[in-house]
Chain A
Amino acid sequence: MGGVHPPENKFAEKCAIERLDSPDTVAIPLSQHLGAPAKVIVSKGDKVLAGQLIAKGDTFISANIHSSVSGTVAKIDDVIDASGYRRKAVVIKVDGDEWLDEIDRDATLIKECNLNKEEIIKKISELGIVGLGGATFPSHVKMMVPKGKKAEYLIINGVECEPCLTADHRLMLEKGEEILVGISIQMKALGVDKAIIGIESNKPDALAHLQKLADGYKGITVEALKVKYPQGAEKQLIKALVNREVPSGKLPIEVGCVVHNVGTALAVYEAVQKNKPLIERVVTVTGKSVKKPSNFMVRIGTPVSALIEAAGGLPEDAGKVINGGPMMGKALNDLEAPVTKGTSGILIFTREETPRPPEQNCIRCAKCLTICPMGLEPYLLAVLSDKKRLEECEKERIMDCMECGSCHYICPSGRPLLDQMRVGKARVGKMIRERSN
């Protein structure tokens, strides 16, 4: 159902992942995941090692945060993060690159995993693994199947349907074995015997590579998916792979599925087999006028400006810098914002690409409704939320909107449909919370 076909522009798909040296200082935000911010456990002046726990996630939906570098805690203060708001972060002055002893930094593949279910989940939780596809939902929470529900399938998201981004693509090509071991560990933790890796057919090399490797693992299959946006959205992916529809307002477990990103599978491997917490990730830096489009392995907390520098510097004609892809990414208001667990790409638009087209009357062409992957009526929801008719918004299922942006993308009148719906969603969300109080 629905979907759009924005130009793919995957400039960096042939660029192998490059390791970026740690910068002089890193700022590690305490809120890099969905849920409550972690509670800081270090203080100014403390010496920390790479991989050391610096903040604890102590509520059910939260995640631990570790230092990504070795050095001294310079301050614990508000920094502007990728959301544009000031949020608490641990700022660390880097000194050398010493890691915690228990972290195995050797590249040898370890296939065997003798831990049981609970031990695996405990490790994933302790080492701060969150979903790396963008939503940064704490991974250990997803692995605890609620009572009365049963997981049948582990679905691995290698779709990367956002234009421009190539981080997952490169990971699949370069870390295929590790990803597959990670998947089998996740299968064990979930108690499922079937895992499906979904990859869009515009990545034939990754498809072929994982297909070949998957032959060596029991229960793991690889499926090619049609290229369309948002094919990688959780509910759409489940529908495409196992033909089940997650009911409105429910989680994938409702239809027996748990979805993880390929990057998360790798992080799980590294956590469980190598004791490595989530302190670095792959970030694509790209754009039409970027000199050297790249995929960097960077430490969490590195300022975005350092990544742009490494990719050839901010182009003369830069008009917008986006954290993420062009469809769902957030425009940055400060290039010193740190890379977090959820940063999949830094996209630089030229001034030409930046402006929005002028807004015109809605001509009722129904394109927004035809392409909406959730079967909503964006033209109507935009008007209803503008008029603050919140009850009607709720009835027309505004909360089902996942903010994929397809409606705004397709609108020939250039109407900011998603902007209006976001406001509506926030208001309806508040209304629902107040009702239940």
Chain B
Amino acid sequence: MSVLTVSGSPHLQANQSVGKLMYGVVFSLIPAMLVSFYFFGLAAILVTLTAVVSCMAFEFLIQKYLIKGPLTVFDGSAIITGVLLAFNVPANLPLGIVVIGSAVAIGMGKMTFGGLGKNPFNPALVGRVFLMISFPVQMTIYPKPQAFNTALTDAVTGPTPLTVLKDGVSRGESVSDIMLQLPDSFSMLMGNMGGSAGEISAIAIILGGLYMLFRKIITWHIPVVYLATAFVFAGIFWLVDPEVYADPVFHLLTGGLMLGAIYMATDYATSPMAPRGMIIYAVGCGVLTIVIRLFGAYPEGVAFSILIMNAFVPLINKAFKPKRFGEVKNG
């Protein structure tokens, strides 16, 4: 007779795995990736490839030679970090800097804490902020988007819409004058504007987000609340003085807010667990983003606000529990 297994219930397992979830995210990033390749050409392809390969390589090296633990380099999470890091830097960033960013993202951002699921801060954002501080010049020269771009280093460069706005406002120009120098909302929605490689096209990122919602990889709470908060908060200032503050639609479409709200803030390990906690966290992200944009030294605030809110996640998880069954007495 055959040997029978004895184990605790349940005996069924959903057709799910870490790899399936992670590759689902990677798959959903394809539209945004295509847009960045279209506007920034070969340069964007190289930056993305470099980031992905070096993120995977660093994870492998650290697991194999430092931690000497099981290898999880093919679970897809290092690929996501690589793609998101590439999306968060200018497409013409020297590849050496991309490698440094990947080392920081994977090494400092993820592996020091024990790898996937244990890191308190979003690894791609850790890498990005490290680069912003260490290479401020290279990190703020953005190539101008050109359809079917093949240029590598000699691309025409230009500022992002948020930089134009910040500089203009600080010079005392009115917002309506500044807006004349910028692409219209439709172009920005499609991604035809200066910016980091993958953050430019709101529509492609929303598409990816819808796919993740459909596959139940993420829930609506964080992206919807984050965007809504940023919209309302920016809208209040705009209503107060439209000549000093830009309109809320402009804020939604620029500076990687879409990318941040849909991909960076929803990172499993660094966002709250319970729906109520997610909402609080997303409100925090939205408010901080606009505060930094309107009153901070940097033109854009998505990366900082998400990292700041990441730090609050353990507290939020303690304070905001899911709704327990049988908590409210009724009947």
Q: B-contacting residues of A (Cβ < 8 Å)?
A: 1, 4, 6-7, 84, 163, 235, 239, 242, 244-250, 254-256, 314, 316-322, 324, 326-333, 335, 347, 349, 351, 353-357, 360-367, 369-370, 372-377, 379-380, 396-397, 400, 403, 405-406, 408-414, 416, 418-419, 422
Contact = CB atoms under 8 A, between A and B. Distances in A.
A248 B4 contact: no
Interface in B302-331: 321-331
A361 B17 CA distance: 11
Contacts of A418: 8-10
A166 B83 CA distance: 49
Please classify the interface of chain A as helix (H, G, I), strand (E, B), loop, or mixed, using the class held by over half of its residues: loop
Contacts of A374: 324-326
- Number of contact residues on B: which range applies? 35 or more
Interface in B144-163: none
Contacts of A163: 12
B327 A349 contact: no
B11 A255 contact: no
Given A248-B326, A250-B326, A372-B322, A366 B9 contact: no
Nearest to B318: A380
Contact of B325 (A324, A362, A373): A373
Interface in B109-125: 114-118
Interface of B: 1-2, 4-14, 16-18, 20-21, 72, 75, 77, 114-118, 219, 268-269, 273-275, 321-331
Nearest to B267: A364
Contacts of B16: 367, 410-412
Nearest to A250: B326
Contacts of B8: 331, 416, 418-419, 422
B131 to A, nearest CB: 26
A413 B268 contact: no
Given A248-B326, A330-B9, A412-B17, A361 B114 contact: yes
B13 A370 contact: no
Contacts of A319: 2, 4-5
Nearest to B77: A363
Contact of B11 (A242, A250, A329, A403): A329
Contacts of A409: 10, 12-14
A375 B5 contact: no
Contact of B330 (A244, A329, A379): A244
B1 A314 contact: yes
Contacts of A250: 326
A237 to B, nearest CB: 12
Contacts of B323: 1, 375
A364 B269 contact: yes
Given A329-B9, A363-B269, A418-B8, A412 B274 contact: no
B325 A363 contact: no
B44 to A, nearest CB: 29
A326 B10 contact: yes
A388 B248 CA distance: 50
Contacts of B268: 363-366
A424 to B, nearest CB: 13
Nearest to B216: A367
A245 B331 contact: yes
Contacts of A326: 9-12
Contacts of B4: 318-321, 331-333, 335
A360 B18 contact: yes
Contacts of B77: 363
Given A6-B14, A375-B324, A414-B13, 10 more contacts: A84-B6, A245-B325, A330-B9, A331-B8, A331-B9, A354-B5, A360-B72, A405-B12, A408-B10, A408-B13
